[in-house]
Amino acid sequence: MSNFINYKNTSIHYTESGKGTAVVLLHGFLENTTMWQPLEPLLAAKYRVVCIDLLGHGKSENIGYVHPMEEMALAVKVVLDSLNIRRSFFVGHSMGGYVALAFAELYPDNVKGLVLLNSTTRADSEEKKMGRERAIAVVKENHKSFIRTSIPMLFRSKCRKIYKDEIAEVKKQALLTSKQGIVAALEGMKIRDDREVLLHFGPYPKLMILGKKDPVLAYEDLILQIQGTETQLVELENGHMSLIEDQEAAVKAIVEFVKNN
């Protein structure tokens, strides 16, 4: 069911389905709640599933020209409070993982489990920050061209032909994102804090799902993050879009994590 709630005079969109323990699904940059279609109905058979359009994405409005991950996390908290949900599993894809980490830092007692799907706990390096600046300049010039160029680059090279139709749909959904929403998210990701410490001390089960051929995140860097922690690891064969490129394995890993914790 599709719903809206007001946060700081801004409309936030979310969907809700199923009953039981809450599972909150947070999409990535240029995505929206529709990305969870392969997973949401399977979880909703046994759990209460909440999918939230993050600030400036999908049907949720912009709150400003910078959307820090903490601000997005506060909007998530308002949605969950309105639903009387106290503790939840959180599954975050890419930027959604950054928001889930910000939420976990702010409200550790409200987290029942944390899944980072093609995401990282580390802050942007200086090189990555410069890349965000270049992206912002391109978006301001022509955000639609930026979307059409950047979406295929999230996939492993050999997957770009295999999943041509799926890539077209991801682009279609991404093109619904406003220029302001894109820039605000890039600005927010650029300034986000390093939260690797949560993998060591977060008082809840954790799972990292990574793609070995992810063009966005370095495999070795992700492996280093979980060393010395009790974080579970699932390694998939392809790129940054595991819910498409390795759909069956990614869905299975998330469902089993929720079931076993």
Report how far residue 230's alpha carbon sits from residue 109's, in angstroms, rounded to the nearest whole number.
18
Q: How far apart are CA 21 and CA 219, in angstroms?
A: 32
- The DSSP line for 82-125 is HTT--SEEEEEETHHHHHHHHHHHH-GGGEEEEEEES--SSPPP
Would you say 202 and 89 are in contact if contact means Cβ atoms under 8 Å apart? no
**Phi and psi of 43, rounded to 5°?**
-70, -40
Return the pLDDT at 2.
84
141 contacts: CB under 8 Å, gap ≥ 6 = none
CA–CA separation, 216 vs 131, rounded Å? 12
pTM, two decimal places: 0.98
State pLDDT tens for residues 134-144: 999 999 999 99
List the beta bridge partners of residue 233. Answer: 208
Phi, psi of 118 (to 5 degrees): 50, 50
Q: Which amino acid is at 70?
A: E
Q: 49 - beta bridge partners?
A: 17, 23
Q: Which residues pair with 24 in a beta bridge?
A: 50, 90
Q: Classify strands 111-117 and 206-211 as parallel, antiparallel or unpaired.
A: parallel
User: If 0-12 CB within 10 Å is exposed, 13-18 middle and 19+ buried, where does residue 79 land?
Assistant: buried
pLDDT for 1 equals 75
DSSP H or E segment with residue 167: helix 164-174
- In tens digits, the chain (261 residues) has pLDDT values of 789 999 999 999 999 999 999 999 999 999 999 999 999 999 999 999 999 999 999 999 999 999 999 999 999 999 999 999 999 999 999 999 999 999 999 999 999 999 999 999 999 999 999 999 999 999 999 999 999 999 999 999 999 999 999 999 999 999 999 999 999 999 999 999 999 999 999 999 999 999 999 999 999 999 999 999 999 999 999 999 999 999 999 999 999 999 999
Q: Could you tell me which of 217, 228, 153 has the C-alpha nearest to residue 189?
A: 217
Our CA angle for 69, 180, 40, nearest 5°, is 55
| Structural domain spans, the chain | 2-260
- Residue 236 DSSP code: E
**48 and 80 Cβ atoms separated by less than 8 Å:** no
Amino acid at 252: K
Pairing state between β 206-211 and 88-93: unpaired
| Rg from Cα positions in the chain | 17
For residue 64, count CB atoms less than 10 angstroms from its CB and return exposed for 0-12, middle for 13-18, buried for 19 or more. Answer: middle
Pairing, β 88-93 against β 111-117: parallel
Residue-level pLDDT at 186:
98
The one-letter amino acid code at 178 reads S
Query: Which CATH number describes the domain made up of 2-260?
Result: 3.40.50.1820
* Res 106: pLDDT: 98
